[in-house]
Amino acid sequence: MNYDTLLNLCDNWLKYAIRLHLCREPKDSLAEVKNAALADSRIQNYLADIAHFHSVLVTNHKNPDLPIQKLLFLLDLGFDTTVPQINSAVEQILQHQDEHGIYQSMTNIPKHFGGMGEDVFGWCLCDAPLLLLALFKTGLDYRKYIKSGVDHLVSLCRTNGFPCAVSRELGKFRGPGKKEDCCPYATLIMADLLSHIPEYHDSQAALTSVKALLHLWENSLEQHPYMFYTGTDFRKLKAPSVWYDIVSVTGVLSKYEFVHKDPRFLEMIRHIKSKQDKDGLFTPESVYQKSKGWDFGQKKEPSPYLTYLCRLIFDRLK
């Protein structure tokens, strides 16, 4: 589709991302568009929220309201640490790092789930990769701030992907599944993290993660590790990409060129493309209630942002 069509439909915050990432206009030439995007009240609210980064307990990872998800949303639109609130969020993340180099989130695991029942800084494999990814996307020195944490997380990789794993601060907590299974979401966000890092993009851990995600799609009727289903709900188009669904998974897989001809991946792409309307736009089939007020927080009409996410995927396949 013509990106001009999409630009005419969207608000300023998305126009900035489209012109930057799809039209590939130089960032230096988009100052006016960026300022208009930053002026949007919804963007301002997200910035205000991440400025107090650890004020929200991480108790449910399927939550677009988590500061880390809002930070990644803003970074992926094209904003950076020249925005004071983003810089503040980065500084706060850097203040909580364990001996392995992994950054921590404030959480509370009840005693009956194996935790201490207290607010504590620790990490799960379903949040730690996101913090490292956010820091990487801000352009921080990789070897100084990021590498050691990534190295440790990669060491947890098994032959079937990444497991459910937590830091010692979170006790014996483990998600609802067999210990030997992979955690699909942890595997997904580790695959995303590794796709950005040159020394790991073609690593065995990345390859294992990608194969695990494709395997789960291929065996969606039989395998549901940690109660992650690759069924009807998974196949509904949804934004933003904060959890385990077809847009999120295909978005990560598309970053690996060797996957582009895999029949399982192509089947996922065909499924997404089958949902286009005559104008090449996509309408959400499922929404997060906390996303009301955004174009992707409703199911009645096409969503420019969901369309943008799908176009990013298709753009990588050229």
Look at residues 311, 289, 307 and name the one whose alpha carbon lies nearest to residue 298: 289
With contact defined as beta carbons under 8 Å apart, do 131 and 189 qualify?
A: no
| CB neighbour list of residue 219: distance below 8 Å, 6 or more residues apart | none
Q: Which amino acid is at 80?
A: D
The per-residue pLDDT for 113 is 63
With contact defined as beta carbons under 8 Å apart, do 7 and 307 qualify?
A: no
The per-residue pLDDT for 262 is 98
CA atoms within 13 A on the CB side of 130: 27
In angstroms, the CA 82 to CA 242 distance is 24
The per-residue pLDDT for 226 is 77
Instruction: Report the chain (318 residues): mean pLDDT per 10 consecutive residues.
Output: 86 97 96 97 98 90 94 98 98 97 87 71 94 98 98 97 88 76 95 98 98 95 82 95 97 97 98 96 96 96 98 95
The per-residue pLDDT for 114 is 63
The per-residue pLDDT for 302 is 97
- Ranges of each domain in the chain: 1-39
